[in-house]
């Protein structure tokens, strides 16, 4: 494996440059051109130089690949019945293997899983191969399975997207699963969630795969943009561990009725809303005179800490008075609420874990 050895001994991949590769010999997706444009825009916002190509000859020269920190394989299909349709052969295989083993990242999108069926290493690198898809482009319910990975940290817990949804063969269950879709939501008889995005470190390189991105429209979907932005950052190794996040509560203030009953008015300081990949909520709420957070069940432990003013907190059949500096620890399963009393507004910190994280 001369090419692989050469690349490992050469310069490290450049995390500020990517190759968007979209050559096809199988089904040609109409989403490729808008996808290239969207990926270039994503890269530009991250300060990354993006080069687009459909020339397999690039993989003839390991030195050419060494200029990139990651290679994006954008719906790079081949014909599963025709080995001659595969362009990763001979030295090109060695070059791609050397790139990955040298720490280069791979971002594989949609039909990159519908490619190179006659090269087992490629299927293991991707993490699975296309098996089939239900007809058309239905709207599916998608669930985030990993709140910490950069490719999913900014996504909602659940969301819907109109796309083409793959079933995969040879899927590796040890991968870091990022997203699943609900097959029942698109009319399938299967009720088990199906993988649609994942990531793993493979032979030294970071590989991120998403099955989204079939349709030519929808590339401006904020969820897809956030998904690809984070996936690219991760594949490039630019996702340095966060030591801390500083949030200015003045940027997250709004007046609104208190939750669970709309009793009176309050000022909400949604402090933790600006914290990516968080696992707990940390909020300040000021209950104006006469306002209350209505009685409601909690599915997790919560803490109310009083900054100023006074109020009465209720948990099941018990009620207690709270004043500045006091805290109430409320247990999962209780029915709780708090109301403002006295002349001054009641300002408190409310903290609780985010379910499922």
Per-residue pLDDT of 291-311, as tens digits, reads 999 999 999 999 999 999 999
Higher pLDDT, 16 or 250: 16
* Res 245 pLDDT > 90: no
249-278 per-position pLDDT tens digit: 666 688 999 999 989 999 988 777 666 667
Architecture of domain 249-353: Sandwich (2.60)
Distance between CA atoms of 64 and 44, rounded to whole angstroms?
Answer: 21
Given this model, what pLDDT does residue 167 score?
Answer: 94
Given this model, what pLDDT does residue 244 score?
Answer: 66
* Res 90 pLDDT > 90: yes
Closest CA to 106 of 183, 201, 211: 201
Q: What is the mean pLDDT of the chain?
A: 90
Look up residue 8 and give its DSSP letter.
H
Closest CA to 321 of 330, 311, 332: 311
Whether domain 2-235 has CATH 3.30.70.1020: the reply is no
Judged by average pLDDT, the poorest of 87-101, 223-237, 239-253, 295-309 is 239-253
pLDDT band at 4 (very low <50, low <70, confident <90, very high): very low
Given this model, what pLDDT does residue 195 score?
Answer: 96
Q: In 16-90, where does DSSP find H-type helix?
A: 32-45, 62-65
pLDDT band at 242 (very low <50, low <70, confident <90, very high): low
For the chain, what's the residue count?
357
- Mean pLDDT (whole number) for 276-281: 74
Distance between CA atoms of 249 and 246, rounded to whole angstroms?
Answer: 10
In this structure, what is the dihedral angle of CA atoms 303, 308, 313, 319, given to the nearest 10 degrees?
A: 130
pLDDT more than 90, % of the chain: 78
| Domain residue limits, the chain | 2-235, 249-353
* Res 103 pLDDT > 50: yes
Closest CA to 178 of 133, 223, 119: 223
- Mean pLDDT (whole number) for 1-11: 38
pLDDT band at 279 (very low <50, low <70, confident <90, very high): confident
Residue matched to tokens 């919560």: 302
Given this model, what pLDDT does residue 334 score?
Answer: 95
314-330 per-position pLDDT tens digit: 999 899 999 999 999 99
């Amino acid at each position: 494996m001369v090419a692989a050895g050469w690349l490992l001994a050469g310069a490290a991949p450049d995390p500020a440059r990517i190759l968007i590769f979209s050559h096809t010999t199988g089904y040609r997706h109409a989403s490729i051109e808008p996808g290239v444009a969207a990926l270039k825009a994503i890269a530009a916002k991250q300060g990354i130089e993006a080069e687009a190509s459909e020339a397999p000859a690039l993989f003839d020269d390991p030195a050419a690949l060494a200029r990139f920190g990651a290679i994006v394989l954008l719906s790079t299909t081949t014909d599963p019945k025709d080995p001659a349709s595969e362009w990763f052969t001979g030295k090109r295989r060695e070059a791609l293997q050397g790139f990955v083993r040298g720490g280069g990242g791979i971002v594989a999108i949609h039909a990159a899983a519908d490619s190179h069926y006659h090269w087992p290493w490629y299927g293991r690198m991707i993490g699975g191969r296309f098996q089939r898809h239900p007809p058309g482009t239905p709207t599916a319910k998608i669930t985030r399975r990993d709140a910490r990975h950069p490719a999913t940290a900014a996504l909602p817990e659940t969301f819907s997207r109109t796309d083409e949804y793959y079933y995969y063969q040879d899927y590796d269950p040890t991968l870091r699963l990022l997203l699943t879709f609900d097959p029942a939501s698109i009319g399938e008889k299967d009720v088990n969630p199906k993988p649609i995005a994942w990531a793993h470190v493979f032979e030294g390189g970071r590989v991120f795969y998403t099955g989204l991105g079939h349709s030519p429209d929808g590339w401006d979907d904020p969820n897809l943009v956030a998904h690809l932005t984070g996936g690219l950052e991760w594949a490039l190794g630019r996702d340095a561990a966060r030591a801390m996040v500083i949030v200015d509560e003045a940027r997250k203030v709004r007046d609104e009725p208190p939750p669970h009953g709309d009793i009176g008015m309050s000022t909400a300081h949604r402090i933790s809303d600006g914290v990516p990949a968080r696992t707990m909520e940390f909020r300040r709420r000021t209950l104006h005179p006469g306002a209350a957070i209505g009685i409601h069940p909690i599915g997790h432990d919560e803490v109310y800490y009083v900054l100023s003013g006074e109020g009465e907190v209720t948990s099941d059949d018990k009620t207690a008075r709270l004043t500045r500096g006091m805290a109430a620890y409320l247990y999962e399963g209780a029915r709780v609420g708090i109301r403002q009393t006295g002349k001054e507004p009641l300002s408190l910190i409310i903290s609780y874990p985010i379910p499922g994280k």
